[in-house]
Amino acid sequence: MVEQIDLTKEEVRGPRNLSRLLKQSLDSSHLELLRTVSAAASSQGIDIYVVGGFVRDLLLESVSVDYDLVVEGDAIKLGRMLTKNNGGSLTVHRRFGTAKWYLSAKLKSETGVSDLDLVSARTESYERPTALPEVKHGTINLDLHRRDFSVNTLAISLQSHDFGDLLDPWGGLKDIEEKCLRVLHSQSFVDDPTRVLRAVRLEQRLGFRLEDHTAELMDSALPLVDRVSGDRIWHEIEKTFGEESPETILARLDEIGVTGVLHSALSDQVDSWLVERFKDARERISRETLPVIYFALWLYRMRWKDIKAVSRRLKVTSVIMRVLQQTERVRGEIHVLKELSKPSEVARVLDGISKVTLLVIGLAEDESVSENIRRYDDKYRHVKPTFSGLELQERGVSHGPRIGAILRRVRSAWLDGDISDTTEEEELVQELLIEKRQRS
Ligand code: ATP
């Protein structure tokens, strides 16, 4: 249990050294890992800090293991040294001066951490709104200033001589105490309007409120969200779907008017129907599958024309698009699944539909539909004729669509109980072959 931290205490407010809090909150293997990184940085004569969400969450007593490390120097060179001395592998991004160190299997199993992000302190300037920024090397203070909200601008020094010292150049600690989200300058949302979505996500996750001026700036920047590329918006939406309760974030995006800017059909989709389904989805579905399920449910009640437009706008992947297309196809025949239809009819509608799409339909529709899906999944999908196409060819059916048609008829007969053993199946095949000869 982590001891409650009193942010007004001298040790935090004065020298503001958080090494005691770090020791209390982190596993010893993690402290060891931070010390290893710190020693490597010090041998290269550079300063290193853990920054951003980790520090914010540490102060809020919810420790994350997502370490963002910033060095005043060459992060790629540091990454190379860490890999050489401790194993693992490295990927680098020269343009941004960043590296990702993938820990060796041994370190990973000791710490549970798979990788560390190493970033060279940098500054960014935006040539024009919504464009990608120009990047230059900078100091830690300037690096912290390029961040979205003050609560993400805190850093903890990992140097051995001041290990644990808190850096708070932009007033982040006060805003954490006051539970308030504040941008660092009035152009922030204009420079990068995805911060509007990030603000709402953090506000809802942390239970913080937007500082008044920040709310005003956000409101004026809303139309700019329209100019952000689909993949960047999708990235933020996907992150939203990784949160505990994405429905509250979507509702807030509605309230502020962000969804409407993205596409008019996206507004006002959050109601008790959707909330109930999101909750059901969380109880039944694994974390990795949830984002696509949430997305398909969010769009479930829209017209196909709008679903296509929204998906194009958000540049969703072909895998997600396929789920949406299949959902639409099944919805077109949903009456079959709502009734006590013959098994062969249910199979006709559901054959070829992916498991994920079946989950979406099962969550969205009522119990009679779920029951049919369950029967299909448990039983019908496994029913096959004992005959193969090759055997039919040996009996004189020429290669082509006829073979498929006969096999389907035989499968339907098995499914509907019209035949129940191989003798009856053989009789049916004979009948179908005669029928075929008479027709041709
Ligand atoms: P968390 O803060 O909980 O880690 P997150 O997973 O969205 O949220 P990342 O996307 O990993 O955070 O970003 C790490 C840090 O980079 C954030 O703490 C934030 O300060 C900064 N950051 C990310 N995106 C932006 C942005 N669009 N503008 C400015 N700063 C950003």
CA of 148 to the centre of ligand 1 (A): 7
Cα 138 from Cα 160, distance rounded (Å)? 22
Q: Which two tokens stand for residue 75?
A: 């992060």
Considering only CA atoms, which residue is closest to atom 3 of ligand 1? 53
Q: Does 130 have pLDDT greater than 70?
A: no
- Residue 8 binned pLDDT confidence (cut-offs 50, 70, 90): very low
The pLDDT of residue 371 is: 95
DSSP annotation of 4 reads P
The answer to whether residue 365 scores a pLDDT higher than 90 is yes
* Model confidence band, residue 5 (pLDDT cutoffs 50, 70, 90): very low
Query: 134 CB under 6 A from ligand 1?
Result: no
Angle between helices 318-331 and 355-364 (to 10 degrees): 50
Unique residue bearing structure tokens 């160190």: 101
In whole angstroms, give the CA distance from residue 192 to residue 211.
Answer: 18
How far, in Å, from the CA of 320 to the mean position of ligand 1?
Answer: 25
For ligand 1, whether the C-beta of 148 sits within 6 Å is yes
Nearest atom in ligand 1 to the alpha carbon of residue 205 is 3
Q: Relative to the CA of 195, which ligand 1 atom is closest?
A: 27
Residue to substitute in 49, 148, 217, 224 for testing ligand 1 pocket (most ligand atoms within 8 angstroms of CB): 148
**Of the candidates 67, 63, 64, the residue with the CA atom closest to the CA atom of residue 82:** 67
Q: How far is the CA of 163 from the centre of ligand 1 (A)?
A: 24
Q: Which one is predicted more confidently, 14 or 248?
A: 248
Domains in the chain, please, with CATH? 1-178 (3.30.460.10), 324-382 (no CATH), 389-439 (no CATH)
From 120-129, 329-338, 348-357, 384-393, the region with the lowest mean pLDDT? 120-129
For residue 243 and ligand 1, the question of a CB distance below 6 A is answered with no
The residue whose C-alpha atom lies closest to atom 5 belonging to ligand 1 is: 53
The minimum-distance atom of ligand 1 relative to the CA of 57 is 3
Atom of ligand 1 nearest to the CA of 54: 4
pLDDT at 133: 66
CA distance 37 to 130: 35
Report, as an integer, the average pLDDT of 363-383. Answer: 95
Residue 150 to residue 215: CA distance in whole angstroms: 14
Per-residue confidence at 16, pLDDT binned at 50, 70, 90?
confident
For residue 150 and ligand 1, the question of a CB distance below 6 A is answered with: no
pLDDT at 131 (0 to 100) = 67
Predicted local distance difference test score (pLDDT) of residue 392: 83
Compute the distance from residue 149 Cα to the ligand 1 centre, in Å: 9
pLDDT over threshold 60, residue 3: no
12 pLDDT band, cuts 50/70/90, is very low
Give the range with max mean pLDDT: 59-73, 87-101, 192-206: 192-206
Per-residue model confidence as pLDDT tens digits over 74-83: 999 999 999 9
pLDDT tens across 87-123, in order? Answer: 999 999 988 889 999 999 999 999 999 999 999 998 7
Q: Is the shortest distance between the CB of 66 and ligand 1 below 6 Å?
A: yes
Q: How far apart are CA 121 and CA 350, in angstroms?
A: 54
Give 51's contacts (C-beta < 8 A, 6+ positions apart).
68, 69, 70, 140, 143, 144, 154, 155, 156
Position of tokens 């309230």?
A: 255
Residues facing 115 on adjacent strands: 102
Q: How far is the CA of 53 from the centre of ligand 1 (A)?
A: 7
Helices (H), 113-257: 140-145, 172-177, 188-191, 194-206, 212-221, 230-241, 246-256
Judged against a pLDDT cut of 50, whether residue 14 lies above it is answered with no
Helix axes 290-299, 318-331, angle to 10 degrees: 50
Residue 414 Cα to ligand 1 middle (Å): 56
Question: What local confidence, expressed as pLDDT, does residue 1 receive?
Answer: 37
DSSP state of 266: G
Instruction: Using the predicted structure, report yes or no on whether residue 388 has a pLDDT greater than 60.
Output: yes
For the Cβ of 147 lying below 6 angstroms from any atom of ligand 1, the answer is yes
53 ligand 1 Cβ < 6 A = yes
CA distance 184 to 408: 65
Place of tokens 């779907």: 241
Partnered with residue 102 across adjacent β-strands are 89, 115
Nearest-angstrom CA–CA distance, 118 and 99: 5
Q: Cβ neighbours of residue 212 under 8 Å, at least 6 residues apart?
A: none
Q: 198 CA to middle of ligand 1, Å?
A: 8
pTM above 0.85, yes or no: yes
Q: Whose CA is nearest to atom 25 of ligand 1?
A: 148
- How far is ligand 1, taken at its centre, from the CA of residue 183, in Å? 13
Buried b (16+ CB within 10 A) or exposed e, 243-272: eeebbbbbbbbbebebbbbbbebbeebbee
The rounded percent of the chain whose pLDDT value lies above 90 is 79
Tell me if 362 CB under 6 Å of ligand 1. Answer: no
All residues at 6 or more sequence positions from 45 whose CB lies less than 8 Å from its CB, including other chains? 73
Answer whether 365 contacts ligand 1 (Cβ < 6 A): no
Average pLDDT rounded to a whole number, residues 294-301: 97
Element (H, E) at 209: strand 209-210
Average pLDDT over all residues of the chain: 91
Structure tokens at 213: 């001026």
- 279 vs 1, 272, 282, 290, 315, CA distance in Å? 29, 11, 5, 11, 26
Atom of ligand 1 nearest to the CA of 192: 27
Residue 273: predicted pLDDT? 97
